[in-house]
Structure 1
Amino acid sequence: MKVSDCMTRDVQMTSPEETLRDAAQAMVRLDAGVLPVSEGDRLVGMITDRDIAVRGVAEGRGPDTKVAEVMSREVMYCYEDEDSAAVLRNMGDIQVRRLPVLNRDKRLIGIVSLADLVASGHTAKAGEALGGIVRPGGEHSQSIH
């Protein structure tokens, strides 16, 4: 099965010039923890609820701070024509729960999540990926380094 068969197509984006308040309110409306960040038709980053909390609020930035100041600029992504099982394995390896989906012209056309992949029948493989995502260590570990 290809990623295009199980991804979410209707993806709301934000811009680097919008505020953290705007992004957080969009996340509440969408019941989502992540928004792709675009300039024109190009994906330039991702912002998560964790980015807002850790790079925003914890660093003393207020709700009027621009998304550009806290978003992740290094975007991991997959292509719509990739095999969903391979993408799922990759998600476990790179420890992410969601990936933006691009066409071969590198335009955002959707987002794929672990939940999308489970719903499409990849239950066992999603469990393996989640095991990779939640493994201890790395940048987000609560263990003392």
Structure 2
Amino acid sequence: MQVNAAMTRDVRVANPNHSIREAATMMADLDAGIIPVGEHDRLVGMITDRDIAVRAVAQGKGPETRIGDVMSAEVKYCFEDDEVDEVMTNLGDLQLRRLPVLNRDKRLVGILSLGDIAVSMEDGSAGLALAEISRPGGAHSQT
């Protein structure tokens, strides 16, 4: 199955010059913990609720702090025509629960989450990815 059959297509994008308050409001409206950050029709980063808590609030930064100052600028992504099985392996290796999805022109077309995979693939294979994602430590550990 290709990523485009499982991904969420309705994606809102924040601007790096928006405040983290605006990002948090978007997250609350969408009931999401991550928002892609774009500038001039290009994906330039991702902002997560954890970025706001750990990179901003824990360091004493206020709600008007620019998203660009606390976002993750190194963005891992997949393509809409990639195979979900391959992407699941990458999610496990990278210890990520979601990836932005780009078309071959590198334009954002969706987000693929572990939840999307669990709903789309009825063979339980999402559990294997979750086991890898959930192992302690790794690049995204805050300790």
- Normalising by the residue count of structure 2, what TM-score does the alignment of the two structures yield? 0.96
Q: Conserved in 2, the CA contact under 8 Å of 1:85 and 1:122? A: no
Q: 2:97 corresponds to which residue?
A: 97
Q: Using a 3 Å threshold, how does the CA distance of structure 1 residues 122 and 40 change in structure 2: closer, same or farther? A: farther
Q: CA deviation at 1:141?
A: 6.0
Equivalence map 1:44-83=2 (5 Å):
44-83=44-83
Q: Which runs of 5+ in 1 are unaligned?
A: none
What is the aligned-residue identity percentage?
A: 57
- Normalising by the residue count of structure 1, what TM-score does the alignment of the two structures yield? 0.94
Q: Which runs of 5+ in 2 are unaligned?
A: none
Q: 1:116 corresponds to which residue?
A: 116
Q: Conserved in 1, the CA contact under 8 Å of 2:95 and 2:138? A: no
2:142 and 2:46 mapped to 1: Cα distance?
20
| SS of equivalent residue, structure 2 residue 124 | helix
Amino acid at match of 1:68: G
Q: CA deviation at 1:6?
A: 0.7
2:123 and 2:18 mapped to 1: Cα distance?
37
Q: Using a 3 Å threshold, how does the CA distance of structure 1 residues 45 and 141 change in structure 2: closer, same or farther? A: closer
Q: CA deviation at 1:57?
A: 0.2
| SS of equivalent residue, structure 1 residue 22 | helix
Q: 2:35 corresponds to which residue?
A: 35
Q: 2:16 corresponds to which residue?
A: 16
1:58 and 1:104 mapped to 2: Cα distance?
38
1:40 and 1:30 mapped to 2: Cα distance?
23
Q: Conserved in 2, the CA contact under 8 Å of 1:44 and 1:73? A: yes
| SS of equivalent residue, structure 1 residue 100 | strand
Q: Conserved in 2, the CA contact under 8 Å of 1:89 and 1:125? A: no
Provide, for residues 27-63 of structure 1, a one-character-per-residue CA deviation record: whole Å limited to 9, x for no partner.
0000000000000210000000000000000011000
CA RMSD between the two structures: 1.1
1:122 and 1:65 mapped to 2: Cα distance?
42
Amino acid at match of 2:60: G
Q: Conserved in 2, the CA contact under 8 Å of 1:117 and 1:123? A: no
Q: CA deviation at 1:121?
A: 1.6
Q: Using a 3 Å threshold, how does the CA distance of structure 1 residues 77 and 65 change in structure 2: closer, same or farther? A: same
